[in-house]
Chains A and B, each alone.
Chain A
Amino acid sequence: MKAIGKAEFSNFVDELIADDPREVIGVQAKSNKFAFDPLKSAEDLRLDYDVTILPPKKYFMPQRETLVKYNTNEGEMTAVNEVIPRIIFGIHPYDLIAIQQMDKVFEETHSDENYLAKRRESVLVGVNMKNASEWSFAHTMGTATTDSGYDLMLTDIGDKYAVEIGSVKGSELLEEAKSQLDDVGMEEIEKVREFKEELPDKFRDDPEFDPFELPRLLSEYYGKDGFWEENAEDCLSCGTCNLVCPTCYCFDVKDVNDITLTEGERLRTWDGCMLEAFAQVAGDENFREEKAARYRHRYMRKGRYMYNKFGDIACVGCGRCSEQCVPDIADPVDVFNQMKEGTNGI
């Protein structure tokens, strides 16, 4: 563990913005919320944020991404992978854990170079949570802290940041701040320990379940149609709970041509299993036509299917879906608690 004074840390960030060829990203205020965005000055970096509107997955799997460009006149087709190397400041532990889950998905199934190249070229600077969203239940999900997934990890210990090194990428980045870095003593180590000990109080205390019983609970509830219909009744099929989720990775692929039909590109864009057309196939057959079926599917993915395939509970408790669902029906704690309590639905 190292430590750096806060003023020195700001200088370090400003120097990176000025001199490093990579794009420097950091969490910033976006009116009354927060978002990851390119940093213009260290002043704008808000390491005390609670949660961002979108998770940092947008940098590895952009909302819209060109995969292929083609020209029909010349019969040309070119694979496209636009990689912008980035240093990303301020990722909370739950998002770092989510990124590790996404890495498995894109690496272990079909090795998706568009995702993986962007990941390789990014440096992830995490920060332990000073504040938590009132919706977050990361502590319950075991994601309030992490020992992996970061290149560097910061903890606010008063007038300094404690800095943990997670990788060579991380230590190389620190080279640029070498003269301002100190090795730590017991005082700093104690402060970091205290910081982590106080963490649980920042989260919701209403979850009644343990994450590892979710696969069994979900399997018991799979066939209880009334339960899902009741919970999904007010669903607007707006996909918000998918789009804002750090572990949702589904995409759609479509071709966009210019009007003369000579040039075009193949795009991939974010998609979500809550959208009505998600499971619609040729011939207009839709194998999850009812909103309750889609609603159930999302929970199955979060708490059961991903566990069975990758060994991960794919809800990291960030609370984004809970907060941003307009009719307020997407809170996983509410649904998991109902299962735990034995609610049956009608």
Chain B
Amino acid sequence: MKPESVKPKVAFFDFAGCEGDQLQVANMEEKILDLIEVVDVVNFREIMTERSEDYDIAFVEGSIATDHDAERLQGIRENASWVVALGSCAAIGGINSIRNSQPYDLVQDRVYGDDADKIEAWDVAKPIDAIVDVDGYVYGCPINQDEFVHVVESLLQGKDPNIPTYPVCVECKMNENVCVFARNPEKNAANIKAAVDNGSPAESGPFCLGPVTRAGCDSQCVNEGTTCWGCRGLVPNPNENAHQEVLEKYGLSVDEVINKFNLYFGWQQEELKNEQ
């Protein structure tokens, strides 16, 4: 065990999010004992009441949506040697960025009703790297505990964590899942034929965002018989157009495709557009 004094101090902070990622850390059971062997946790609302402003590594959960959030985040950045985005809201905007494509008034009205005018928020939710420099990312909604351990371990060793840049399909194939697009060949064939003959599919088809979503979760949702919703965000260079064509070919309407892409990719899609 390392002497007390050289252990880096770790703090957890949350912004707009559900704290589900911190809960994943709190639920690490015996692995959390290993964690506190190598770091001092000085700030972690989920498991302790003490507070400290003296820390080396800051794990930040949640998106940034107000001036006040942004100031607080900047303060954290000044205090910490390393800032790590914890979970999709912090890393990519995540679920919060669903609203980015909707009119702000409408969003405010829906969420706060009569109190809408008392709330002062930005019209878009942003990931933390839109505000400050970020040294590491733990993707996922919620995060995967093993990947969290890997990121911490890499930071402590001063090396880049090994986070996949390839899509979920890679893990899905390694797990030998039946692909979502192959689960119901008769329905798919009918849909594809209807799309060719009448210009639109017969009924809504299967969808999976695995081909454009960053792997690292071991394709867990497909393994369990559902589909990939894209919670880890887009791969660095997604071929979104090709995948939209695929989804439309299998029977999703253009609006349905946009809705699926907006669930987690709201902010990232804006970014990609701005780059182009």
Contacts and interface: CB of A to CB of B under 8 A. Distances in A.
A210 to B, nearest CB: 30
A53 B167 CA distance: 18
Contact of A327 (B149, B210, B246): B246
A281 interface: no
B153 interface: yes
Interface in B124-150: 149-150
Nearest to B250: A326
Interface string A312-346: 00000000000110110000000000000000000
B193 to A, nearest CB: 14
B40 to A, nearest CB: 14
B72 interface: no
A162 B179 CA distance: 35
A168 B44 CA distance: 64
A236 B153 contact: no
A276 B165 CA distance: 8
A326 B37 contact: no
A238 B152 contact: no
B166 A239 contact: yes
Nearest to B192: A328
Interface residues of A, number: 38
Classify the interface of chain B: helix, strand, loop or mixed. Answer: helix
A261 B38 contact: yes
A261 B8 CA distance: 14
Interface in B159-217: 162, 165-167, 169-170, 173-179, 181-185, 210-212
A258 B30 CA distance: 12
B237 interface: yes
Nearest to A235: B239
A256 B150 contact: yes
B178 A261 contact: no
Q: How large is the interface on B (under 10, 10 to 19, 20 to 34, 35 or more residues)?
A: 35 or more
B75 interface: no
B157 A261 contact: yes
Interface string A285-298: 00000010000000
A238 B150 contact: no
A109 interface: no
Nearest to A33: B178
Contacts of A257: 153, 157
A239 B149 contact: no
B16 interface: no
A236 B214 CA distance: 12
Interface in B234-249: 235-239, 242-243, 245-246
B257 interface: no
A272 B236 CA distance: 17
B41 to A, nearest CB: 13
A22 B264 CA distance: 46
Classify the interface of chain A: helix, strand, loop or mixed. Answer: loop
B179 A326 contact: yes
Contacts of B157: 257, 261
Find the residue from B37, B184, B238, B239 having the highest chain A CB count within 10 A. Answer: B239
Contacts of A326: 169, 179, 181, 211, 243, 246
Given A258-B149, A326-B246, A240 B169 contact: yes
Contacts of A240: 169-170, 173
Given A30-B176, A53-B178, A64-B174, A236 B212 contact: yes
A326 B37 CA distance: 46
A244 B170 CA distance: 10
B156 interface: yes
Contacts of B68: none
B34 interface: yes
Contacts of B170: 238-240, 243, 270, 272, 275
Contact of A236 (B35, B149, B162, B239): B239
Contact of B34 (A243, A256, A260, A276): A260
Given A256-B150, A261-B153, A272-B170, 15 more contacts: A53-B176, A54-B173, A234-B245, A239-B166, A239-B169, A240-B173, A258-B149, A259-B34, A259-B149, A270-B170, A276-B235, A277-B165, A324-B182, A326-B169, A326-B179
Interface of B: 31, 34-35, 37-38, 149-150, 152-153, 156-157, 162, 165-167, 169-170, 173-179, 181-185, 210-212, 235-239, 242-243, 245-246
